[in-house]
Amino acid sequence: MIWRKFNGDPLDLPIKQAVENTIKRESNKGYHLKVCIGTDSQVKGAETEFATVIVFLREGHGGFMFIHNDKTKTKYSIKERMLVEVAKSIEIAYELCPLFNEYDVDMEVHADINTNPHFKSNDALREAMGYILGMGFAFKAKPEAFASSSCANKIVN
């Protein structure tokens, strides 16, 4: 899995090591971090592109993110695509969770799913919420899910 910074520079380390180094560096600078993980997708012709982001928030001092993109030719219903987005976020959250526990970093999983029942993505809300909360992670949906609906969205659009 290839991850990069927002400026396009690739991360030279495996994601777990890069995140640990980041937590140490930011903590040494005196910042208290919160991490939000989210995924968004965009259907472009026969392909679906996914962007997963790890957003590091420095309390009161802005933030930055790491990004991973991938594409597939698999066709999804809107509900399936929403749940694949959530699965991608959970996969990376699960891998990084021991680090967040070790360094006392709060983490949330953000789902690009609308809480308004008038939107098609809302069909996946109950399953996504159960999946994320069942894994023991804090959960945010639109409009509070900025990691997926704003940050990752900018990468795939």
Output the pTM of the full model: 0.93
**Sequence letter at residue 104:** D
The pLDDT of residue 92 is 98
Residues of the chain with confidence (pLDDT) below 70: 157
Confidence (pLDDT) at 85 = 95
Rounded Cα–Cα distance for residues 45 and 52 (Å): 20
CA atoms of 87 and 137, how far apart (whole Å) = 13
Which pLDDT score is estimated for 31?
96
pLDDT of residue 119: 83
Distance CA 105, CA 122 (A): 29
Dist CA 153 CA 148 (whole Å): 6
Ordered by where they begin, the domains of the chain are: 4-156 (3.30.420)
pLDDT at 123: 84
What pLDDT does residue 157 have? 64
Beta carbons within 8 Å of 47's beta carbon, 6+ residues apart: 71, 72, 73
